[in-house]
Chains A and B, each alone.
Chain A
Amino acid sequence: MYNVSTQKFTGPLDLLLQLVEKNHLEITEISLAHVTQDYLVYVGSQDFIAPEELADFLVVAATLLLIKSKTLLPVMTLKPEEEEEIFDLENRLQLYKKYKEKGKEIQSLWQKGIYLFTRPPWKETIIEFSPPPHFEAADLANFFKKTLIGIEESIPLEKKKIAKIVSLKERIQELMEKLTQGKNYSFEELISQSKDKKMDLIVTFLAILYLVKENLIKVKQDKNFSSLWISSQK
């Protein structure tokens, strides 16, 4: 985990592209998995991402996590729509990159300052209020209606309550606190007794995978399908 430059980005795809390019990588599934951690750190530490933009950042984060899990757990099979989501993100990033580059070329043309002047239109043109003959209040109302039609509809966001679940980071900390006391635990013992047992199971399992990868804990299993025994590496 290293520091991400504080260079500005224009959105989630821009941030992602900058991370990939900073590592001198091509846009592939592997490179996306590689920068997932950085992306999450960055999004997690950005208090200034506007709330209305946060959702866009999280959508990308979710797909990145999917890619990351796929690389960490090669046996995991993804649903077709999940595969498509990954493929989509790669394509979108490629497309975004193309337009970003073209934007830079537009900028360099702009900076040359070659402006093509026109003659000012007829001097005699005087702007004045000249309503058509027999103009009435009803006509005004009609024009106003027309103007209203012209206003673009913005699609209202669906309101949904998000249930608080324990985050992976929190679970990793909890596990470390428990395990550093030197006692062995079975996997079942480590799962807390929360309402959402399935979610808790997943988070705890991911936390254990992370800690094993970081060489902080040991996991032992005597035979297939028997209990996992977890202890601190120290």
Chain B
Amino acid sequence: MDIKSKIESLLFAAGEPLSLQKLTKLTGESETKIKEALEILSEELKSQARGIRILSHNGEWLMVTAPEAAPLVQKLKKEVFEGDLTNASQETLAIIAYRGPVTRTEINEIRGVESSYTINQLLGRGLVERFYHPQRPHTFLYQISFAFLQHLGIHSVEELPQYGEFKK
């Protein structure tokens, strides 16, 4: 069995994000080979318009249903969809998505207003995640989550409109 198929099986069986390290450990293949295989697999699924896709975020990969299949799968799985995003949530998500990982202070500065409440709500809805700042104690860095990608129907954060321009 080739690496590509192995990865496909593992991502299917996992049903949750798998990291590069985990895939390396499970398959016994090198990181470069796995990365390469993931890219090819991901492209094939897209170009052949298959029913499943692979999302990538923060060094992890997740297998999901294809965007085109969303209305169909919804008939099978009745996910409860939350309402709209408030204006404050939209702004905060945009800052975290386009600028992340960011600190709370940075978000406050850009929005010109205390954002803890909004950030906590987004954390609660699972649309953003946080981790400790490697250099600063008592500080978190915020970034978007797989759930964010899933809700927006995009494969990675790079697919957001003008993402490249913002990163410059």
Whether the Cβ atoms of B15 and A121 lie closer than 8 Å is yes
In the complex, per-residue mask of B82-99: 1 if CB is within 8 Å of any chain A CB, else 0: 001101101111110111
A56-70 residues with Cβ-Cβ distance < 8 A to B are 56, 60
A117 and B76 alpha carbons, distance in the complex (Å): 11
Q: Which residues of A contact B150 (CB under 8 A)?
A: 115-118
> Is A147 positioned at the interface, with any CB of B under 8 Å from its CB?
no
Whether the Cβ atoms of B138 and A115 lie closer than 8 Å is no
How many chain B residues touch the partner (CB < 8 A)? 54
Given contacts A114-B153, A117-B73, A153-B138, contact A10 B111 (CB under 8 A): yes
> Is A79 positioned at the interface, with any CB of B under 8 Å from its CB?
no
In the complex, per-residue mask of A186-227: 1 if CB is within 8 Å of any chain B CB, else 0: 000000000000000000000000000000000000000000
Binds A, one of B1-9, B19-27, B64-72: B64-72
> Is B38 positioned at the interface, with any CB of A under 8 Å from its CB?
no
A110-B152, A150-B132 known, 19 other contacts, Cβ within 8 Å: A56-B112, A92-B109, A99-B111, A102-B161, A103-B91, A105-B160, A111-B84, A112-B153, A113-B81, A115-B73, A115-B74, A115-B79, A115-B150, A115-B151, A116-B64, A117-B64, A118-B15, A150-B140, A152-B140
> Is A48 positioned at the interface, with any CB of B under 8 Å from its CB?
no
Whether the Cβ atoms of B79 and A117 lie closer than 8 Å is yes
> Is B128 positioned at the interface, with any CB of A under 8 Å from its CB?
no
Whether the Cβ atoms of A106 and B152 lie closer than 8 Å is yes
Q: Which residues of A contact B81 (CB under 8 A)?
A: 113, 115
Whether the Cβ atoms of B94 and A116 lie closer than 8 Å is no
Residue of A nearest to B137 (CB): A149
22 examples of A-B residue contacts, CB within 8 angstroms:
A10-B87, A10-B91, A14-B111, A92-B110, A96-B110, A96-B111, A96-B112, A99-B91, A99-B110, A103-B87, A109-B152, A109-B153, A109-B154, A110-B151, A115-B81, A115-B153, A116-B70, A116-B149, A117-B65, A119-B63, A121-B15, A150-B140
For the complex of A and B, the 7 pairs showing the least CB-CB separation, nearest first, are: A11-B113, A103-B90, A114-B153, A119-B15, A116-B64, A13-B112, A102-B94
> Is B43 positioned at the interface, with any CB of A under 8 Å from its CB?
no
Contact with B94, one of A99, A149, A151 (Cβ below 8 angstroms): A99
Q: Which residues of A contact B162 (CB under 8 A)?
A: 102
Size bracket, chain A contacts = 35 or more
Chain B min CB distance to A20 (Å): 14
Chain B min CB distance to A186 (Å): 44
B113-134 residues with Cβ-Cβ distance < 8 A to A are 113-114, 116, 132
> Is B16 positioned at the interface, with any CB of A under 8 Å from its CB?
yes
A5-24 residues with Cβ-Cβ distance < 8 A to B are 8, 10-14
Given contacts A99-B98, A106-B94, A117-B73, contact A53 B114 (CB under 8 A): yes
Q: Which residues of B contact A154 (CB under 8 A)?
A: 116
Q: Which residues of B contact A109 (CB under 8 A)?
A: 152-154
> Is A95 positioned at the interface, with any CB of B under 8 Å from its CB?
yes
A153 and B90 alpha carbons, distance in the complex (Å): 25
Chain B min CB distance to A28 (Å): 18
Whether the Cβ atoms of B112 and A11 lie closer than 8 Å is yes
Contact with A10, one of B12, B88, B140, B161 (Cβ below 8 angstroms): B88
Given contacts A99-B110, A109-B154, A152-B104, contact A119 B12 (CB under 8 A): yes
Residue of A nearest to B89 (CB): A103
Q: Which residues of A contact B152 (CB under 8 A)?
A: 106, 109-110, 114
